[in-house]
Amino acid sequence: MLIHVGDELPQLSLEITPGLIVAGAIASRDYQNVHHDKDAAQALGSPDIFMNILTTNGLVGRFVTDWAGPSARLKKVSIRLGVPNYPGDTMVLSGDVLAWDPTSGECQVSVKGKNGLGYHVTGTVDLAFAQE
CATH number at residue 65: 3.10.129.10
Mean pLDDT of 86-110: 97
Q: Give the pLDDT score at 1.
A: 80
- CB burial of 33-52 (b: ≥16 within 10 Å; e: otherwise) equals ebbbeeeebeeeeeeebbbb
Residue 67 has pLDDT above 90, yes or no: yes
Domain span holding position 31: 13-129
pTM confidence score: 0.95
Number of domains in the chain: 1
| CA pair distance 130, 132, nearest whole angstrom | 6
Mean pLDDT of 81-104: 97
> What is the percent of the chain where pLDDT is above 70?
99
Mean pLDDT, rounded, of the chain: 96
